């Protein structure tokens, strides 16, 4: 065995929408891909749900996030949230949701 490491594998990134954040430090991201059916030439939409690691628990439902492929974190979690591309419009920060906390 040589001490030299082989070329690094390029990690995949996807942009998707958060559809669930009920688990601690985990979000479920829906990735939608659109393609033309090879035989029928119809536009087909397919969705994939991926679990991603959210270290700060800052993602909310409806946020658009960028996720990066990583080492296995748990049985079903192989992705990490690297940035929140766009916040959802319907969810306000915690300080605004609870006006009693401001007083």
Q: What is the mean pLDDT of residues 76-98?
A: 78
Residue 35: beta bridge partners? Answer: 44
Predicted model pTM? 0.76
pLDDT at position 85 over 90: yes
- Choices 3.20.10.10, 3.40.50.1240, 2.40.50.140, 2.130.10.10: CATH for 13-89: 2.40.50.140
CA pair distance 35, 55, nearest whole angstrom = 33
Mean pLDDT within 55-65: 96
Domains in the chain: boundaries:
13-89
Model confidence at 1: pLDDT above 60? no
The pLDDT of 30-45, averaged and rounded, is 97
Residue 14, phi then psi, degrees to nearest 5: -135, 155
């Amino acid at each position: 065995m040589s001490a030299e490491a082989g070329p690094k594998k390029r990690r995949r990134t996807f942009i998707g929408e958060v559809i669930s954040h009920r688990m601690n430090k985990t979000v479920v991201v829906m990735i939608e891909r659109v393609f033309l059916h090879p035989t029928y030439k119809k536009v087909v939409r397919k969705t994939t749900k991926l679990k991603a690691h959210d270290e700060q628990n800052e993602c909310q439902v409806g946020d658009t996030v960028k996720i990066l492929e990583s080492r296995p974190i748990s049985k079903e979690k192989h992705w990490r949230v690297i940035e929140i591309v766009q916040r959802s419009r319907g969810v306000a920060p915690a300080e605004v949701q609870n006006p009693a906390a401001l007083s």
